[in-house]
Structure 1
């Protein structure tokens, strides 16, 4: 078993650049992609073409704000001029062409497919990201707020060389990918959905909860519900 720190040391350069057009096209062939009305795609440069394709294919595109501090931005299809798409799906364009989604709205358009990039993935589908854990946290938040479709699947994009032959150490937050997409094809296909994911409150520092808007609002909802339940018992 290899540690995440060792993976990041060996594969740090894998976070740079954009995915090939072939990888982005392979995403389009996924059954979950064709079925989904709304998809979640990470904000990195590697996934830019996937985000552009989603909008041109008539999908609603949900993108996490930087550091998840402002939650999620939603970009609607067919509303952005084609020549502006590359800018619109980047961090700088989100605020101009997208809109922030209130936590109460997430359940109104559940995500059917999640796409992220990664540094490396093991044979079981567990992967190493940039170390900030925003993808795992975003999935947990969406699941808690009923923003994931019951059959939602998660895929990673990268290169064939990023597929390891040994297991990566795992933590309680870690998401298991349903598949890994490289230009050569789709590998490591595995069953399972992510709708049962939950936020692990005991492992979050209070200051981090306060800095991430959807996390803070979700925490307040839970506290309000507990308070109301206590009042009803009295």
Structure 2
């Protein structure tokens, strides 16, 4: 099997396991998604106890369902929240808790609420990000290698932000997952893959001995025409890179 097939086989196994063990949460089925899982809120609460979270002023969190509580806690903690729009189609949003009534923080932590209460922000105008929270389909807690749902959105988001110095090798990357999403597989690595530093489940925190460095910038040789068509911000940056 090639690298893509090996990665997909691991994803399929984890999705199936979450469904069979009834550990999956709405929206179901979880196939093809960053899977929501029973205990996702507790995992976010545990992630918020990390010194890295407590010391952060700006936190970037993915827009998927299992990390909704992470976004809410970020606002509750008085931190600036950077949220990519789904599929990065409309770039990034920034949510400032000082400009949102406190009783709307939960609403603001949803995708629809983030569009209502957040404001679009260009990556070059974003503040420096102190902590990144990503969703995963599977993660190897020994190596820090993770798998998303196969579209590479976390990698593109990281690549864009790293282009402008908003994240770098020392920026902590956390993922919140169900224990069933922890795998022992030797997940194959592609140059643009983003490893994680900390894995948090509903029951534990695992600090990873990372085997890979974090990528910097966009690896344009891996960017397809479809990606440029579907992510206007990426197309804009591509045009800039060719001038």
Higher deviation after alignment, 125-134 or 80-89: 80-89
- For the 8 Å contact 1:178–1:189, the answer to whether it is kept is yes
Counterparts of 1:103 and 1:207 in 2: how far apart (Å)?
21
- 1:223 matched to 2:242? The reply is yes
Within 5 Å, which residues of 2 pair with 1:138-177?
Answer: 138-148=157-167, 151-177=170-196
- Which stretches in structure 1 are left out of the alignment for 5+ residues? 225-234
- 1:4 matched to 2:24? The reply is no
Q: Please report the TM-score for the alignment, with normalisation by the length of structure 1.
A: 0.85
- For the 8 Å contact 2:37–2:66, the answer to whether it is kept is yes
The offset of 1:78, in angstroms, is 2.9
- For the 8 Å contact 2:69–2:109, the answer to whether it is kept is no
The offset of 1:201, in angstroms, is 0.4
Task: State the SS of the aligned residue for 2:99.
Answer: coil
The offset of 1:19, in angstroms, is 4.2
- 1:205 matched to 2:217? The reply is no
Q: Comparing both structures, which one devotes a greater share of its residues to strand?
A: 1
The offset of 1:18, in angstroms, is 5.7
Higher deviation after alignment, 17-26 or 173-182: 17-26
Aligned-pair RMSD on alpha carbons?
2.2
User: What do residues 88-140 of structure 1 show as CA deviations (whole Å, max 9, x unaligned)?
Assistant: 1222122211011023302xx11111111212111211111111110011001
Counterparts of 1:112 and 1:19 in 2: how far apart (Å)?
25
1:121 corresponding residue in structure 2: 139
How many residue pairs end up in the alignment?
A: 221
Counterparts of 1:58 and 1:132 in 2: how far apart (Å)?
32
- Which stretches in structure 2 are left out of the alignment for 5+ residues? 19-23, 25-34
- For the 8 Å contact 1:119–1:162, the answer to whether it is kept is yes
1:112 corresponding residue in structure 2: 130
**1:102–1:187: structure 2 CA closer, same or farther, 3 Å change rule?**
same
Task: State the SS of the aligned residue for 2:83.
Answer: strand
- For the 8 Å contact 2:40–2:176, the answer to whether it is kept is no
Higher deviation after alignment, 82-91 or 115-124: 82-91
Higher deviation after alignment, 144-153 or 47-56: 144-153
The offset of 1:56, in angstroms, is 0.9
- For the 8 Å contact 2:136–2:147, the answer to whether it is kept is yes
Higher deviation after alignment, 50-59 or 23-32: 23-32
- 1:95 matched to 2:115? The reply is yes
- For the 8 Å contact 1:124–1:188, the answer to whether it is kept is no
Task: State which of 60, 63, 75 in structure 2 corresponds to 1:40.
Answer: 60
2:202 corresponding residue in structure 1: 183
1:231 corresponding residue in structure 2: none
